[in-house]
Amino acid sequence: MSATPIAQNARVSELVRQLDDAMTPRDDAGRCRNVKRILEQTFAAGTEFLDARFLAPNPERYARRLVHRDPQNRYTVLAMVWNVGQGTPLHDHAGMWCVECVYRGRIRVTSFTCHGGDPERDIVQFQKETVIHAGVGEAGALIPPFEYHVLENAGETPAITLHVYGGEMDHCHIFEPLENGWVRRFRELSYTT
């Protein structure tokens, strides 16, 4: 999953500097708290810092664009663009933490808990836990094993979210419904050009 180096404007460079500092805790919860605080503070100062090339919707499915890849592979920053009606299937993060913050629009995040076996090899059941409608500047964190969720554009215009992952998320697992539960499928992830 290679991508060419990304030229950054001053605000993105400052965000990256702060995210580098946020990686000092040894635990995922500490890193997520730091990243969430930084994103909320950054967005409180305004959300007009991503270049136009990161903001265009993809008519076929949500766009996933690499903003920054940490050279030490501690994290990546992605801009995700959700056109009206676009969203993800029920999925996990393959064991990777993530903090997301709404840059434009509104996003609906539906979280689930898994029951009835090991989702890696069994047909399982999912129970809806929470539904959150997040607006500009609102951030949330996902720390495995609490990683099952659906993200959707909750508005009438395209929505944009900024995601910071604990590494490079090049795959995840989606869950497809069966008559008696849900089955896990591998999904390779790529970047939108």
Determine which helix (DSSP H) or strand (DSSP E) holds 65, and give its type and residue range: strand 63-69
In a domain, 178, yes or no: yes
In a domain, 2, yes or no: no
In a domain, 193, yes or no: no
Domain carrying residue 45: 10-188
pLDDT (0 to 100) of residue 96: 97
DSSP state of 87: B
In a domain, 26, yes or no: yes
Residue 1 has pLDDT above 60, yes or no: no
The pLDDT tens digits for 153-175 are 999 999 999 999 999 999 999 99
| CATH number (domain holding residue 37) | 2.60.120.10
Global pTM reads: 0.93
The pLDDT tens digits for 179-188 are 999 999 999 9
Residue 23 has pLDDT above 70, yes or no: yes
pLDDT (0 to 100) of residue 7: 56
Q: Which of 91, 100, 94, 103 is nearest to 50 (CA)?
A: 103
Give the integer Cα–Cα distance in Å for 45 and 11.
10
Please give the backbone phi and psi of residue 64, each rounded to the nearest 5 degrees, phi first: -130, 110
Give percent above pLDDT 90 in the chain: 88
Residue 2 has pLDDT above 50, yes or no: no
pLDDT (0 to 100) of residue 133: 97
pLDDT (0 to 100) of residue 17: 96
In a domain, 84, yes or no: yes
pLDDT (0 to 100) of residue 5: 45
pLDDT (0 to 100) of residue 8: 73
Token pair 């840059």 is found at 103
DSSP state of 21: H
Token pair 């499915």 is found at 61
Number of domains in the chain: 1
Give percent above pLDDT 70 in the chain: 96
Q: 67-84 in b/e burial notation, b at 16+ Cβ within 10 A?
A: bbbbeeeebbbbbbbbbe
In a domain, 1, yes or no: no
Beta pairing class for 98-104 and 159-165: antiparallel
The pLDDT tens digits for 33-89 are 999 999 999 998 888 899 999 999 999 999 999 999 999 999 999 999 999 999 999
Q: What is the mean pLDDT of the chain?
A: 93
Between 164 and 119, name the one with better pLDDT.
Answer: 164
In a domain, 4, yes or no: no
In a domain, 49, yes or no: yes
